[in-house]
Amino acid sequence: MSPRPVHVTFVCSGNICRSPMGHVILQQMVDDAGLRHLVRVSSSGTGDWHVGEQADPRTVAELARHGYDGSRHRAREFDPAEFDDVDLVLASDEGHVRTLQRLARTPANRRKIRLVREFDPEAVAAGTLETGDPWYGGEDHFARCFTEVEAACRGILHYVRDQLDGRLDGRLGVLDDQQETGRP
């Protein structure tokens, strides 16, 4: 039996700007790395304002400028029950962290919540861990958001690979035990 995929979800306010960028970018990186069967990527918003809508056209345009396809995205609201299935909940800013902390029912679920930019060493060094909401700005805000999220996604992919290596090492250990003893 294959292990359950690592599930990473991005969360912003309405799931039309920041979190879809993370979702689309990381999904492409996962696919390019040949990890699609081992990693599940999703996104949602803390509010229900845009449920069912496409990503903001400026988000789709910025993604397209860099070779990513955000046209199939549909916004959805974060469901607290998702904590049971998700391994990493990536919030865009501290407001989202606070909202998600309130929704998390257990300390284990609260530990799953991190800021997206915690995975970008340059953002960590600069102390700028929040991803600003581009919705209120122009194309330059969306370009900056893209740059920040893409840099973080590189670190997220590295983190996920490390998690997978640990899982696979553990699984291989079980297989080795089975070969030696003849039982699970």
Q: Which among 18, 120, 145, 153 is annotated as catalytic?
A: 18
Catalytic site residue from 12, 17, 145, 153:
12
Q: Is 146 helix (H, G, I), strand (E, B) or coil?
A: helix
Q: Is 133 a catalytic residue?
A: yes
CA angle 100, 157, 146 (to 5 degrees): 70
Has 56 been annotated as catalytic?
no
Alpha-carbon distance of 146 to 161, in angstroms, equals 22
Give yes or no for a contact between 36 and 6, defined as CB atoms under 8 angstroms apart. no
12 part of the active site: yes
Nearest to 25 by CA among 67, 77, 57, 85: 67
Q: Which of 76, 110, 133, 167 is catalytic?
A: 133
From the list 176, 119, 171, the residue with the least C-alpha distance to 148 is: 119
Token pair, residue 56, equals: 């903001």
Give the whole-angstrom CA distance, residue 83 versus residue 136.
30
- Catalytic residue set: 12, 18, 133
